[in-house]
Amino acid sequence: MSKKIMILPGDGIGPEIVEQAVAVLKTADEKFGLNLEFSQGLIGGASIDAHGEPLTDAELAKAGECDAVLLGAVGGPKWDTLDRAIRPEKGLLKIRSGLGLYANLRPAILYPQLAGASSLKPEVVSGLDILIVRELTGGIYFGEPRGIQTLENGEKQGFNTYVYKESEIERIARTAFEAAQKRGGKLCSVDKANVLEVTVLWREVLDRLAPEYPDVELSHMYVDNAAMQLVRAPKQFDVMVTGNMFGDILSDAAAMLTGSIGMLPSASMNETGFGLYEPCHGSAPDIAGQGIANPLATILSAAMMLRYSLDMGQAADAIEAAVSKVLDQGLRTADIYTEGSKKVSTAEMGAAVVAAF
């Protein structure tokens, strides 16, 4: 039986990088007999241009019928002046929420070949390997009520609601505990329980579940301290788990510790293992269409997809090994280029990964 993969290239550099990832997937398919079947859809600005909205219900339904989704990136200045309700980002929020993709896994890994790219001292980041588990369909991103209202005195007031119920916290906590079991056995839960009641509940649920995972050492950290510790001594962390908003901030900070955000994949999954896979970086409109974007984060996202949603771990390993090989060969796109290495285009990088299989 074939496995259906929906490709959502999106905007900016999205189409260029996704093209390379699909080529790599097709090579893996041939080599390992994966029986992959591809379809393509629109999201973000591309969908706004075609349909007037960032993700149509039809496209969402089609995505839900596939086994996994591979996404490029969304957004760009072309759509920045549109009404907020139909911005490209809303397509991303709609697919996350619509498909119940509550578990966002964001690894921050320093590739030894790229150690020099970090803005941190080598001894602080060498060997860095953190997994950030971010809740993706709740919290302040989706909480109601929300909006901007006019007060009696005529001035405007903006408001959002940061809300979590126990069941939402529990399922993401279990994802994180299980991830920690498969990794270094350490889980740091990040909250602001000294100020925010919603995160008091967060902490309570984590503490309640902890005895079920005796092989995992659970700790708690306030979000301000976590931001600080990521800068000071990031290697103290194994798995971190937090809500949607804090996860957005901390995962970007953690990704940047590696200096090579163009290398970092991510997965967003639901209870059944269905997932959406995308690079951690954005649509980089400033370099779109120039053929210089780094396709490796998307290629590594494709590998994550094979491993987590399609149970094709061997093919995933092969892709990751091929990526490591091209790095060993000294091939670098502009974002990770350093003197002495060989600068290559998006297409050349993709072709090199295919060739390294």
Hey, is 173 helix, strand or coil? helix
- Annotation-wise, does 284 bind a ligand? yes
For residue 329, what is the DSSP state?
T
151 binds a second copy (CB under 8 A): yes
Task: Tell me if 334 contacts a second copy by CB under 8 A.
Answer: no
Q: Which residues from 57-96 bind ligand IPM, rule CB under 6 A?
A: 89, 92-93
What whole-number distance in Å separates Cα of residue 193 and Cα of residue 133? 18
Q: Enter the DSSP assignment of 79.
A: G
CA angle 357, 184, 111 (to 5 degrees): 40
Number of residues near ligand IPM (by CB under 6 A): 7
Does the annotation count 335 as an active-site position?
no
Stretch that binds a second copy, among 251-259, 292-300, 309-317, 337-345 (CB under 8 A): 251-259
Cβ atoms 60, 95 nearer than 8 A: yes
Paired tokens of 278:
């995308």
120 binds, among ligand IPM, a second copy, none (CB under 5 to 8 A by kind): a second copy
Q: Does 238 bind ligand IPM (CB under 6 A)?
A: no
Active-site annotation holds for 317? no
Q: Are 135 and 66 in contact (CB under 8 A)?
A: no
Say whether 84 counts as a known binding-site residue. yes
Pairing of strands 103-109, 129-135: antiparallel
The Cα 349–Cα 345 span in angstroms is 6
Answer whether 157's CB lies under 8 Å from 147's CB: no
Residue 208 labelled as part of a binding site: no
Largest CA distance in the chain: 69
208 contributes a contact to a second copy by CB under 8 A: no
Answer yes or no: is 248 a known binding residue: yes
Q: Indicate which residue of 192, 213, 277, 308 is catalytic.
A: 192
Among 56, 57, 71, 92, which Cα is nearest to 22's?
Answer: 71
We find the least distance from the C-beta atom of residue 22 to a second copy, in angstroms, to be 27
Binding residues for substrate: 96, 106, 134, 224
Q: Which residues bind a second copy (CB under 8 A)?
A: 84, 87, 89, 93, 119-121, 124, 140-141, 143, 146-148, 151, 155-167, 192, 194-202, 223-225, 227-233, 245-246, 248-253, 255-257, 259, 261
Q: Which residues bind ligand IPM (CB under 6 A)?
A: 89, 92-93, 194-195, 224, 248
Positions marked active-site: 141, 192, 224, 248, 252
Binding residues for NAD(+): 76-89, 282-294
